[in-house]
Amino acid sequence: MDDPDIETLRAGWHDAGGETELRLRAIRRRRWLPVIVTGAEVGAATVTALLGAWLIWHGLRAHIAAYSTLGAPLFACGFSLSIVLADARRASLTWRDETPGDLLRTGLRQVEASLRVIDIMRWYAVGILLFLIATRIVNLVKGEAHGPYTWLATGGGVTICGLYWLWLTGRRRKSRIEQRILARLLAEEQTA
Amino acid sequence: MEDVIRLYGPGLARTASSYERDPALRDELVQDIYLALLTALPRLRDAERLRAYIFKVAHHRCVSHVMRRVRERGTSSEENAVQSDDPPQEKALMDNERAYALMEAVRSLKLPYRQVIALVLEDLSYREIAEILGISESNVGVRVNRAKRQLKEILDHG
């Protein structure tokens, strides 16, 4: 490319460089970190699954239902979590041959999907909140003997749902901004 | 593999600089690019495409970085760059005033123009740039001309 303007710019451009050796030393230290972290995560999930399996087995042998009941979710969660973690790490380390436009499109789709999930969760929180309030209004939860406890449980539930709703609303606002910026970047990419 | 990174290191640092102004975040970005290259390079079958492949991985990581910054801060990295107030530190890292002014000008371009001009300045051909960005060679030409015009305006009146 014999463009005199570009040649002039290139002279200035090549004056800006970096300390490659310094950075190489840093990544030599860093490159095994993701593997170690994944190993630890998968290891912890596997230990949880094994503990769950042991509790189920012990519960069945000793005829203690509580052990088996406790072990079943531990086994199910630990087992599925270890598979999900290993798969997520594998996917994150795989190079996907995407162009900048593809990346922006994928990012935008992910934000839109997360916005849909956030909206569903907000309605879910509102639903639980209304249900808890309704239980008090119609006095569905009767427990004169345990009055303070039922009030505490309902009040706690309402507070948690309220805080969760507020957090989701904040998250939704951030996702909307993210959606707007990604849409703008994608539009710039398409019109350039 | 490290020899390849050593050879293209300065170019990759410049690519990262064109996306991120904050020195600490830029350093992190360069390291991310190196790590991505360590994963991606063994998959390269055609050695003649090495240079284009390396810059494709670099721009891929840089766009991911911009998207991550958008997610974390709710603003794009170029908007953050305007708010950032550490140019003297960066100025000291760059060899001269001209390089600093040019990098600032490149960073102020919109993403599609910034990408093409950064790749042209790294001496990649239109064909290689078209492959990296997934656009046609004629579109590369259009973008380069627009980017050049905008850069000239910024540098002349900047």
B chain contacts of residue A6, beta-carbon cutoff 8 Å: 120-121, 144, 148
- Whether B115 and chain A come into contact, CB under 8 Å, resolves to yes
Among candidates A1, A3, A93 on the partner chain, residue whose Cβ is nearest the Cβ of B39? A93
Closest-CA distance, A106 to chain B, in angstroms, reads 11
Q: Phi, psi at residue B48, to the nearest 5°?
A: -70, -20
Q: How many other CB atoms are found less than 10 A from the CB of residue B124?
A: 21
From A32-36, A110-114, A172-176, A182-186, the region with the lowest mean pLDDT? A32-36
Task: Between A57 and A9, name the one with better pLDDT.
Answer: A57
Tell me whether residues B113 and A1 touch, CB distance under 8 A.
no
- Whole-angstrom distance between the N-terminal and C-terminal Cα of chain A? 21
* Residues B152/A5, Cβ–Cβ less than 8 Å: yes
Give the burial class of B54: count Cβ atoms within 10 A of its Cβ; 0-12 exposed, 13-18 middle, 19 or more buried.
buried
- pLDDT class of A113 with cuts at 50, 70, 90: very high
A21-66 pLDDT, tens per residue?
Answer: 677 777 777 777 877 888 898 999 999 999 999 999 999 998 888 8
A chain contacts of residue B60, beta-carbon cutoff 8 Å: 98, 100, 103
What is the pTM for the complete model shown?
A: 0.74
Taking the C-alpha atoms of residue B95 and residue A123, their distance in angstroms, rounded to an integer, is 56
- Whether B125 and chain A come into contact, CB under 8 Å, resolves to yes
What was the pLDDT predicted at B118?
93
B94-139 pLDDT, tens per residue?
Answer: 556 778 888 889 999 999 999 999 999 999 999 999 999 999 999 9
Residue B22 backbone class (left: φ over 0; alpha: ψ -120 to 50; beta: rest): beta
